[in-house]
Amino acid sequence: MAGGWAKDGAEQEQIESTLEEGVEWARSQLPSGESRHHCEECEAVIPEPRRKALPGVRLCVACQTEQDKHASRTSGYNRRGSKDSQLR
């Protein structure tokens, strides 16, 4: 149910667009190429099952976990609908 200047289905289109952007971003973060035998960060051996499961892997599990903790991604879309900016 769209209101104002929005056409019907606008909410669903925005949801789908946001989801597609998230999937594209996640895919871009996947490793590619040949896997390393040793971690780029700590030089620990990367086990063969990990190299086979994730082609292009560059970090051991411990370093990847630490990197994932610090990685963040924010959406550029104002989810509040810009009502605040319209009222000012």
Domain hosting 57: range is 35-71
Q: What is the per-residue pLDDT across 35-79, written as a single tens digit (0 to 9) for each? A: 999 999 999 999 999 999 888 999 999 999 998 888 765 555 555
- This prediction's pTM: 0.55
Total domains in the fold of the chain: 1
13 in any annotated domain? no
Q: What is the per-residue pLDDT across 17-28, written as a single tens digit (0 to 9) for each? A: 999 999 998 888
86 in any annotated domain? no
The 3-state DSSP class for residue 26 equals helix
Cβ proximity of 44 and 36 under 8 Å = no
Q: What is the DSSP secondary structure assignment for residue 7, as one 8-state letter?
A: P
40 in any annotated domain? yes
51 in any annotated domain? yes
27 in any annotated domain? no
